[in-house]
Amino acid sequence: MTTKAAQILVVIPHPDDAEFGAAGTVARWIRKGKEVVYVVCTNGDKGTSDPEMTSARLAKIREKEQRAAAKVLGVREVVFLRYPDQRLEDTPKFRKDIVRAIRQFKPDTVVTCDPYKRYTTHRDHRITGQVTLDAVYPTARDLLAFPDLIEQGLLPHAVKEVFLWSSDEPNYPSDITDTFELKIAALLYHKSQFGNRPTLEIVERVKQWSKMSVKGKDYELAEAFYRFESFR
């Protein structure tokens, strides 16, 4: 299997999570010429309070919204794993799916949510973050892990660094002052998630989060990550 490599792989639990957590940074990387691929783990088919909505219809809506949001940012490709919302488990199959993506796209950088965030994290976020970290090291790197992937031409790959958003202890504020408007433009494509909330309210809330993430740097808006170099 031959696939053009992408420098950045963003692994997210649901459609819209990348836009909330990392879209400003993704847009900045893309402006610098880096190629980005998203892996969306669940179909988001439970995320509604609309009594007229069905899971099947919502999954289709959310996939369409995610494709549109990614296009605004310039994301090269979106891979949908389509696991049911709220039912992710730490299984060999799920880990293999993430390993497959890492070996296929050969990223230098993997971005996902911090599985160790205390108290407020959605269960799918914890599972996605933990499985992604386990896939990064050691599974994607090790020759004898999932030998059938070798047979498919997906050779081991060592990721250089990991960025975790929604961390309790961020150590890397990423300047998104110049890409904040793109982040918002992408986020607002997820209309199914906002109900009747006014657009201005959404924008102001995200801007406040971004201001709080600056952490003493000399720029206006940021996304906060815990960054570390992966074992290789």
Q: What is the pLDDT of residues 111-149, one digit of tens each?
A: 999 999 998 779 999 999 999 999 999 999 999 999 999
- pLDDT score recorded for residue 215: 84
| Eight-state DSSP code of residue 85 | T
What pTM does this model have? 0.96
Q: Taking the CB of residue 182, how many other CB atoms lie within 10 A of it?
A: 21
Q: What is the strand order of the sheet 36-42 is part of?
A: 77-83, 36-42, 8-12, 109-113, 161-165, 222-229, 172-175
Q: What would the two tokens of residue 97 be?
A: 């799916």
- pLDDT score recorded for residue 140: 98
Residues 56, 118: Cα–Cα separation, whole Å: 32
Residue in 32, 39, 54, 29 with CA at minimum distance from that of residue 9: 39
Q: Which domains does the chain have, with CATH numbers?
A: 8-229 (3.40.50.10320)
Are 146 and 139 within 8 A, CB to CB?
A: yes
- pLDDT score recorded for residue 87: 94
- pLDDT score recorded for residue 230: 81
Are 111 and 9 within 8 A, CB to CB?
A: yes
Are 112 and 129 within 8 A, CB to CB?
A: yes
Residue in 94, 110, 92 with CA at minimum distance from that of residue 102: 110
Residue in 94, 99, 158 with CA at minimum distance from that of residue 126: 94
Residues 72, 187: Cα–Cα separation, whole Å: 10
Q: Which residues of the chain, if any, have pLDDT below 50?
A: none
pLDDT in tens, 54-77: 999 999 999 999 999 999 999 999
- pLDDT score recorded for residue 216: 84
Are 115 and 162 within 8 A, CB to CB?
A: no
